[in-house]
Structure 1
């Protein structure tokens, strides 16, 4: 399966744009990429700080045949992003439920999932933000970025290629996915 790429310089929110694409086109899957978001969103309506050079993408695809709950899909998406991050950082990466990834107890990534129904088909939108070169300041929440951790400046394009490949391999097997063997299934 190939995810169609939708590239933008500046958007309000990649998730909002993915929702518009689903509603207004016949695209069943895709990846919305932005260099900057003006109104990025996090969980529970929190603001997602979007510094240029960090990663802001939303992946959308049909999940009508998928038997997983949204909670289980969140776990799966966290593990897929953890797998992506492990390409760039070799030490421990933790998942903080429900949807944050931490390194050294500092947030490096967040995921915002939303669902949408169109013509009886269910879609999931997976918004992914990763601090590549700059960490936002969040009150009472430590943050980090890959550049500070590795000393290597990783470009969004490099990360997007790997992320796209991970999801293109995973989406076709999602309908027969077994949540009990989660870690084994994602190796």
Structure 2
């Protein structure tokens, strides 16, 4: 499956733009990439701090044919983002349920999943934020970024292209997916 790329300099939120694309076009899948978000958000309407140079993407695709619960889709999406991070960071990366990724007990990434129905079709929108070069200061919550951990600057475009390839490989597997064997499928 190929994800159509939608690139933007500044938008309100990648998830909001994905909603607009689904509602107003016939695109069945895609990846929305932004250099900056003005109103990025996390779960429960929490603000996602969007420093330029970090990664902000939303991947969307139809899920009608997928026989997985949203909880299992969340687990899979966390593991796919973990796979991306492991391209750049070789030590332990933890998934903090339900939707955060941590390195050294500090948040490096968050995922926001939302669904949308259009013409009897259900779409999932997977918003992904990754701290590539700068970490936000969040009271009571430690954060980190890949640059501080590795000393290597990773371009958002490079990370987005790698993530796009990961999803293009794994989305076709979703209909016959066995969550118990997922880690083996990732290798």
State TM-score, norm by structure 1: 0.99
Shift, 1:186, TM fit: 2.0
Specify the alignment match of 2:121 in structure 1: 121
Asked whether the 8 Å contact 1:177–1:185 carries over to 2, the reply is no
Specify the alignment match of 1:33 in structure 2: 33
State how far apart, in whole Å, the 2-side matches of 1:56 and 1:154 are.
13
Structure 2 SS opposite 1:148: helix
State TM-score, norm by structure 2: 0.99
Shift, 1:161, TM fit: 1.1
| Equivalent residues in 2 for 1:133-148, closer than 5 Å | 133-148=133-148
Once superposed, what is the RMSD of the aligned Cα atoms?
0.6
Structure 1 SS opposite 2:132: coil
Specify the alignment match of 1:88 in structure 2: 88
Once the two structures are superposed, residues 67-110 of structure 1 have per-residue CA deviations (whole angstroms, 9 ceiling, x without a partner) of 10000000000000000000000000000000000000000000
Specify the alignment match of 1:164 in structure 2: 164
Shift, 1:182, TM fit: 1.9
Shift, 1:185, TM fit: 2.1
Asked whether the 8 Å contact 1:5–1:31 carries over to 2, the reply is yes
State how far apart, in whole Å, the 2-side matches of 1:75 and 1:184 are.
14
State how far apart, in whole Å, the 1-side matches of 2:69 and 2:45 are.
21
Specify the alignment match of 2:106 in structure 1: 106
Specify the alignment match of 1:131 in structure 2: 131
The alignment covers a number of residue pairs equal to: 187
| Equivalent residues in 2 for 1:52-71, closer than 5 Å | 52-71=52-71
Structure 2: runs of 5 or more not aligned: none
State how far apart, in whole Å, the 2-side matches of 1:89 and 1:184 are.
19
Structure 1: runs of 5 or more not aligned: none
Structure 1's consecutive aligned runs of 4 or more residues displaced over 4 angstroms after TM superposition are none
